[in-house]
Amino acid sequence: MARSFYGVELENALMLGTAQYPSPAILAEAFETSGAAVATVSLRREGGADGSGQDFWRLIQDLKVRVLPNTAGCHTVKEAVTTAQMAREVFETNWIKLEVIGHEDTLQPDVFALVVAAEELTKLGFNVFPYCTEDLTVANRLVNAGCEVLMPWGSPIGSGLGLNNEYGLRTLRAHFPDIPLVVDAGLGVPSHACKAMEMGFDAVLLNTAVAKAGDPVATAAAFALAIEAGRLANEADPMEPRDMAAPSTPVIGKAFL
């Protein structure tokens, strides 16, 4: 069942970034093949006096998907809020993926500034998608700040390490059953995305795993299939793991020799 993101239902639970692809044509084909419903775009991609930014924007428009601008590279509340306001003018949407980076090596979000920025942007009428950690206290603060979606990281951006803290992510899912949750960052292979969906998450967002793969188009398609498999598995109410073996073939009526 599709989850509503600020009143918008997404048929496909895959959100794709638009940076680092080998070519615009491969980017477009990756979106078409995977059926990704959302494209995340950094405002900085629109720069350049030669008009290359406008060419990129036309490419994104041709994808005919929902655009989610982000505040990538921002380190302060002021910078993030200003970038979001410019993004709203350029992309004509209230959606904003809010990133406020606090640590250069891990690109871990500055959760203190993140909450403040989320409060300010919500008051300005934005639909905020905060890139956060799996910390329950931080998540509560973001929800109280007006965020109707949470985007916890799986692991550091671009690392490909997958779901580093499954316990934390499961706890977050259980604590916020009615909040759309998107695993954002760190997924490296389709099985990581499948696991996130099996755990009950509503979508995954990734960029590097597809854009930097040997075959981005095939990788995007593989992620889409993995996400659907994980979603179906979650809805099918899978069996719980157990410590002891249990025969799958009945022994009642078996002949004793």
Active-site annotation holder among 64, 97, 123, 254: 97
For the question of residue 78 being annotated catalytic, the response is: no
Residue 198's Cβ-side half-sphere holds a number of Cα atoms within 13 Å equal to 16
Q: What is the pLDDT of residues 214-230, one digit of tens each?
A: 999 999 999 999 999 99
Q: What is the pLDDT of residues 105-158, one digit of tens each?
A: 888 999 999 999 999 999 999 999 999 999 999 999 999 999 999 999 999 999
Give the predicted TM-score (pTM) of the model.
0.89
DSSP letters for 180-213 = -BEEES---SHHHHHHHHHTT-SEEEESHHHHTS
